[in-house]
Structure 1
Amino acid sequence: MDEKSNVTLFIDEEQQPIGTFAAPIAFDLDTKKMTDGRHVLKVVSKDHRGKEGIKLINFTVRNGPAISIEGLKNEQVVDGVVPLMINAYGKGDQKTFMLHGSETPRSMPFWIVVLLIMFVAWAIYFHITSGSIQLTK
């Protein structure tokens, strides 16, 4: 009597399974054939007695080019002219890395500018006050 469990894999709400395998299995899920967005991997297992277990795994596929937008956030309320910076780039594949276009330029955050001005002001103050001190013997 075979005491191994069988595992059946489904993607999203598909009625046709990817396949049925004897456990344990090693499986390569090819996401290149899937649309970008949210998906569910449904794993259905049956043991030798016919008892069934189900596990759902949510995951997100992003094979297409990455899109970065600066200047507008999701659900943000805006009016007037809104300057946007939009960048889209592909990541290549898992064997090579595309350097060109893979970095998104961003503007400097306001708090860094304030910190830099405060540091420069302190440095000027320190230079002026330390130059006026004279050492006596």
Structure 2
Amino acid sequence: MNDNRKIRVFLDEDPVPFAEFSPPVKFVLDTTKIPDGKHQLRIVAQSTSGKEGIKTVSFEVRNGPSISVLGLHDGEVVTDQVPVTINSYGSERNDFFLIRGSETPKGIPAWVWATVISFVGFALFYFIMYWNPDQYKSFF
């Protein structure tokens, strides 16, 4: 039997495939050689009768450091002075961990404050309503 099935893998709009395999195939896509940003993997499979099927998979490569911006959002309208915090962290050094500057500082969310205030308020209410020194007798 003549098995002329093949799978060709293209990256973005490149007309030349970067890999060609016979099915089934398992391969490792090395993203360190691909620039950061949005890309598209196009897989073209050919059956034994010569018919082709195409599948496109979109993905984003981020091998560079992760960048976090607080205080300014994409497409936001701003006026006056806007405080902006920018933090960047990557994983180039695996043998050293610096605690200071590793995390992006964020304020405590409002729902946490509301929960704490509600709990303290309920505790005060319970203490005021039900505290009676006559109910507490010493065992001694």
Shorter-chain TM-score category?
Answer: 0.7 to 0.9
Distance 1:29 1:84, change over 3 A: same
Q: Tell me, in whole angstroms, the C-alpha distance in 2 between the residues paired with 1:30 and 1:117.
A: 51
Aligned residue in 1 for 2:63: 63
Question: Superposition RMSD on alpha carbons, in Å?
Answer: 2.5
Q: Tell me, in whole angstroms, the C-alpha distance in 2 between the residues paired with 1:75 and 1:97.
A: 39
Distance 1:133 1:76, change over 3 A: farther
Distance 1:12 1:105, change over 3 A: same
Q: Tell me, in whole angstroms, the C-alpha distance in 1 between the residues paired with 2:40 and 2:20.
A: 17
SS of equivalent residue, structure 1 residue 55 = strand
Q: Tell me, in whole angstroms, the C-alpha distance in 2 between the residues paired with 1:84 and 1:97.
A: 31
Aligned residue in 2 for 1:26: 26
Which string of whole-angstrom CA distances, capped at 9 and with x for unpartnered residues, describes residues 20-66 of structure 1? 11111111111011111111100011122211111101111111111
Aligned residue in 1 for 2:74: 74
**Structure 1: runs of 5+ lacking an equivalent:** none
Q: What amino acid sits opposite 2:114 in the alignment?
A: V
Percent of residue pairs bearing the same amino acid type:
40
**Structure 2: runs of 5+ lacking an equivalent:** none
Q: Tell me, in whole angstroms, the C-alpha distance in 1 between the residues paired with 2:41 and 2:71.
A: 35
Distance 1:98 1:41, change over 3 A: farther
Distance 1:23 1:102, change over 3 A: farther
Aligned residue in 1 for 2:112: 112
What TM-score do you get using the length of structure 2 for normalisation? 0.81
